[in-house]
Structures are given as C-alpha cells and as structure tokens.
Structure 1
Amino acid sequence: MSSLFRPVSRVLQGIVAACLIAAGLAGPALAQAQQVLRVTAIPDESPTELSRKFAPLGKYLEKELGVKVEWMPVTDYAAAVEAVVNKKIDLAWFGGFTFVQANVRSGGKIVPLVQREEDEKFRSVFITEAKSGISKLEDLKGKTLSFGSASSTSGHLMPRSFLLAAKINPDADLKRISFSGAHDATVAAVSSGKVDAGALNISVWEKLVAEKKVDTSAVKVFFTTPPYYDYNWSVHADMPAATKEKLKAAFLKLNASTPEGKEILDLQRATRFVPTQPENYAGIKAAAENAGLLK
C-alpha cells in the first residue's frame, strides 16, 4: 500500500473500531437511556406462575423507582446466572445456590440486596406416596428419587447435603435419581408414581397444599430438613449505588397493611423483606463444595 493511503487506512480502522465498541455497549447503554430495569427469576416454578407472581411487584417497582420494569424469563437456572453476571439482567430472584454460583462466576461482583424473612430459616421437604412404606431417609435406599433443578438450593443441593449427612449417597445408594426441573413438577412426578419420592421447597409444597393441588391423603411429607438461608433478590455490583438503595428501600417498604403490599407479599409467599448480605450464604457455598457441586 502506498504511503498516500496509509493515513486514510488508519482513519478507517479507527472508525471501524469505534463502531464495534459502540455496538458492544449498545445494549446496556440503550437500557440506561430508556430507564429500564430488566428483571428475571430462576425458573423454579412454571413460567405462567412466575409471570403471575411478578406482575404486581413489577408495577410497584415502576412506581417506586420511576423507571420501566421489564420481566425477562429465562429457560433454566444457568441462564439466570449468566444473564446477571454478563449484565443482561439488572435484578434477579436467585436461590441461595444460584447466588453463590453467580458470585463465584463473577469474582464476587453479585450483591444480594434483600430476602424474605422466611429465607433466613428456609427448609426442604421429602415427599412420597402415602402407601410407599417410606417413612425416613434411610428407607430411600434402593428407591427412585426426583430432585428439582440440578442448580436448585431447596430442590437439590440442600436435600442432597442432608442425605449425605445421613450417610446416604444418592448416586450410589438409590436405584435412580432424576431432575424434574421445578418444584411443582417434582410433586407431579411423585403423585403420578413416576418416582418413589421427591425433594422440594417447603414453600411451594405448602402453597400447593393450600390451593388443594395435591392430595395429602395420597402424598405425604416424611422428612423436613433443618433450616438454612435461601432465596434473595440480587444485582450486579456495578449497578449505581443510588439505584441499589432505591431498590432495597422499595422492598423493605412493603408491608401487608396496604392492599398493594398484601397482594405482593402474598404472591411472593413472604411476611416481609429484610436486608441480606453475602456472608449469609457461606453455609450454602460450603454445602455445595462438600457435595462436589461447585466448581
């Protein structure tokens, strides 16, 4: 190339590089310019149920923050983690384990803002058909068991952890383990006889019982775990501090004394929201490492 064209070439290269950089930043920059808060949740229940639960909360956050709120469902737990780590999502409803995964994956850049008061002492339940003959964890040896999602805290990690503590290795001592993908799907698998037993979130179990979507004369709880920390609402550490504080304040302000607050809290199966911190999930991280589920 002649010396005459070299300066022009360098200018063109600079323009192309600038365009590529601008394209890479277009997503977040556009979202910021439009004042949009993008929200998701781990898919621990059916997509329609998650959307129904979030609708009034989304309207409330729009009012409190003065921004548009967009619900962006994801296909699985891993997708929720990656979306927040890569800043494609601004606010995510994580389980304790998915928070730990996201925090490790991001190098400690994920911040848990609030959790339900119930999440300070959360539990899982093991269920079985009433006539199965299973009445304790030891009875699961040689049986089939369904967990929820492989990345679920209450539907896999903690139930597995308590099985290991009871000297039961799910992979070696059970006939077969499977993953239903969601808590309500685990109940369906047990109710239909596809598996001998299942492990799931106690909150979803109680909701299904209250809504008479499970026959407790046919399906019973035979073991309830000790308590542990679980779900939280998390954001990326790079979110502006003022936005984080507004979000936290909006959740903490919710109470059942107003019709709006009662509707939101009831759908979230919460008494109220309380502040939380990464240290609360140290036990979850230790359990995941002990079970060989955190890499």
Structure 2
Amino acid sequence: MLKRTLALAVGFTLSCCAVLAQAADTLKVSAIPDEAPTELLRKFKPLGAYLERQTGMKVEFVPVSDYPAVVEALATDRIDLAWLGGFTFVQARLKTGNAIPLVQREQDAQFTSKFITADPAVKSLADLKGKSFAFGSISSTSGSLMPRYFMLQDGIKPETYFSRVGYSGAHDATAAWVQAGKVDAGVLNASVWEKLVAAGKVDTSKVKVFATTPAYFDYNWTVRGTLDPALAAKLKAAFLALDPANPEDKEILDLQAASRFIETKPENYKGIEEAARAADLLK
C-alpha cells in the first residue's frame, strides 16, 4: 500500500513537472482586439514563426474578447507578450506595476488618428454639432482616448456636443459604420485607415478624412514584468533585428504596418496617462 502511494505521488509530481516544463517552453502572445480576430491572427502568423526561430520556444497566440482582457491576462501572468495601445499599456503598467514596453514601430512615436465622414457637408468638427459620432473601443488610445482628449482641449465634450455617441469596438468597424451611414462621423487610427484604403475596403468616393489629430505615442510590444529578463532581452533583440531589406523580414514588417521597430520606454507614455486622467478614464 505504501509503495503504491509513493508511486502515485511520484507519478503526480512527474506529471506536474511535465506540465510546467511544457508551459515554460511556450511563449504566450496576445494583442488588443482593435481589428477582426481573423485579421489579427493573419497578421501574427509570420511573426509568431519568426519568434519561434529566434527563441527556440513554441509561440501560441491567445485571442481575447476585449481590451481589458489583455491587461488582466498580463497582470495574472497568463500571457507573456502583448501588442498594446498606449492607453492599454498605461492601464497594464498601473495594474501590474512592472509591465515592460520593449519596442514600438517607428511611426508609433508620431502617431495620429483620422476623423472620417460620408457627409459631404462636413468639413470640420464644427459641422458635426448635433450629429452622431463613433469611437472605437472605449479603451483604445487612437480610437477613443486621444481623439477625445484633443476634442476636450477644443472645448468639445462628445456626450453633449453630439446627438449620439457610439463605440464600434474596433477601427475597421468604425469605418464600416461611417460608410454604411450608421453614424455621421467617426475616428480611427491612421494606420488602419491607410490599410483599409489600400485594400479597397473603404469607398473613398463616399468616405473622406476631414481632420487629423496632433501626434502622440501609441502602440508597443510589452512583456509581463515577471518574465525572465534574458528572454525579454532576446525578444527585444528579435524585433530590432527585423530588416526591411530582407524579403522574409519585410513580409513580417508589412503585416505589422511597420517600417522597422525601435526601442521604447515607460516614460514615453506619460502624456497618455495625463490625457486619460484629464478625460476621467483613470481613477
């Protein structure tokens, strides 16, 4: 009986060790759902394969239902690496105290949002008073926070200025709402707008950009603060090594809408934290 108990205990221990070893060999990656899930996965696949080669680990993409879910997954160590917007990074940093931004795309140091409409009479925000308007996700930096911040600086409080304010949940959805006439105007990030136009997914004979925000810091790749520093350094080096002159690397960069990746730091996002507090989105 004792031998059987010991055998079971040893078997259980070995089983647990095997599970832990398997978990340790898997890099779990996620991203804010600012586009359709199928699009996020399509964009990630070549990058995931590249990170597997660079780290020697299995790389698993973990989709999430909404922006807060990414923050929660980082805070509870359920994911290791995440593609975050500036505001989502601020939330993650405040919640965990140690989330580390590794890299950002070159254009993320000078990012903008585009205001769009299908109404030819709309030339500026002044023409939208009393009309309907759409943001993306309430937690989106470029689809909600920063456009709202700049509007507030101009004396425009969306909830009283527009007849109705909606949240589409994603940048591509905002463009679809505007094109379909569901709202009179909306705002989305410049990168997604350019991609939609290039892919012919928005009819520019109907939908136009009528304003652009000032520049701000936005997206980055962030790791959980409890990740092995050596692995974090390896991941940073992998992103920085992507070379647009190399065809395989260029495919990855193009899917990430990046010319190249550059280093970033927490201090870059202080302005976004200030904007979030000014808009009462952080308590």
Aligned residues: 271
TM-score w.r.t. the length of structure 1 is 0.89
Q: Which residue in 1 is equivalent to 2:197?
A: 209
**Contact 2:119–2:184 (CA under 8 A) maintained in structure 1:** no
Q: What amino acid sits opposite 1:264 in the alignment?
A: I
Aligned pairs (5 A) from 1:235-274: 235-274=223-262
Q: 1:288 maps to what in 2?
A: 276
Q: Which protein is bigger by CA-based radius of gyration?
A: 1
Give 1:19-168 correspondences, 5 Å limit: 30=20, 34-106=24-96, 108-131=97-120, 133-168=121-156
8 Å Cα contact 1:44-1:181 kept in structure 2? yes
Deviations 1:211-231 (A, max 9, x none): 111111100000001100000
Give the secondary structure class of the aligned counterpart of 2:63.
Answer: coil
Cα RMSD (Å) of the superposition?
Answer: 1.8
The Cα of 1:140 is off from its aligned counterpart by: 2.0
Query: How many percent identity over aligned positions?
Result: 60
C-alpha displacement at 1:139, in angstroms? 1.9
Gaps of 5+ in 1: 1-18
Q: What is the CA distance between 1:30 and its match in structure 2?
A: 2.0
Distance 2:197 2:161 in 1: 30
Q: In the alignment, residue 260 of structure 2 is paired with which amino acid?
A: R
Q: 1:194 aligns with which of 171, 182, 185?
A: 182
- SS of the residue corresponding to residue 255 of structure 1 reads coil
Give the secondary-structure state (helix, strand or coil) at the position aligned to 1:199. strand
Q: Which AA in structure 2 matches 1:129?
A: A
Q: Is the contact made by 1:145 and 1:176 (CA closer than 8 Å) also made in structure 2?
A: yes
Q: CA deviation at 1:251?
A: 0.2
2:133 alignment partner, SS class: strand
Contact kept? 1:130, 1:217, Cα under 8 Å: no
Residue type of the alignment partner of 2:102: L
Structure 1 stretches of 4+ with a deviation exceeding 3 A read: 31-34
Hey, what's the Cα distance between the residues in 1 that align with 2:249 and 2:255? 10
